[in-house]
Structure formats: structure tokens, C-alpha cells
Amino acid sequence: AAAAARFGMECEIFMGALDCERQKLNVFRMTLLGAKVHAVQEGTKTLKDAVTAAFMDYAQHLDDTFYIVGSAVGPYPYPQMVRDFQSVISKESRRQIL
């Protein structure tokens, strides 16, 4: 949400309804930044179902949508991308600390 706001982009976030309830403050912050937060009511109402809903939305709007994931979940190559990008951040942080 912060990156989208910074670059003037629209942002839609999919979260399980139970996770939205647990993370009320974060949901509030994301909406302040202009994000539209979808509380997914299907299934267990948690991350697994939110990822499915987000990917389904992405598949229906390929021409104008980017699928950005914050966890190492989803179809190939998303888990590998998250792993590699987090590794870069980890190595850089370690280098700066030591």
C-alpha cells in the first residue's frame, strides 16, 4: 500500500476476514494510504483463501493488474522471487550491521 501510494498507483489488497480482524490497525493504515482492502470470506478466511482470491482476480485482469505477493506463496516463480529478494535484503542488512 505504501509503495503504491508513493508512486500514485491503485492498490487492492486481499486478506482473509479473520486476518483483517486480527490486524485492524494495519488494515486501517492501508486504507489511509488509499488501498482497497478485500476481506475474503471464503474457506478458512485466512491467508490461504486470500491468496487464492487475489490470484483469481489477477487472472481475470491480466491487462491492467500486477500480482505482488508478500509471502513465499503462490504459483511458480513467485516463491523463488520472494526467497531471492528477501535474501538480498538479509545480506545487505547483515553487511551493514557487521
Read off the pLDDT of residues 24-59 as tens digits, 9 standing for 90 and up. 999 999 999 999 999 999 999 999 999 999 999 999
Q: Is the pLDDT of residue 72 over 80?
A: no
Residue 43 pLDDT: 96
Number of domains in the chain: 2
User: Residue 46: is it exposed, middle or buried by C-beta count within 10 angstroms (0-12/13-18/19+)?
Assistant: middle
Question: What domain range includes position 93?
Answer: 71-98
Q: Which of 71, 17, 82 is nearest to 45 (CA)?
A: 17
Do 63 and 41 reside in the same domain of the chain? yes
| Mean pLDDT, all residues of the chain | 93
Residue 37 pLDDT: 98
CB of 16 closer than 8 Å to CB of 49 = yes
Do 14 and 53 reside in the same domain of the chain? yes
Do 47 and 9 reside in the same domain of the chain? yes
CATH of the domain at 49: 3.40.50.1100
Do 54 and 79 reside in the same domain of the chain? no
The count of C-alpha atoms lying within 13 angstroms of the C-alpha of 90, restricted to the half-sphere facing its C-beta, is 6
**CA 13 – CA 71 distance, rounded (Å):** 13
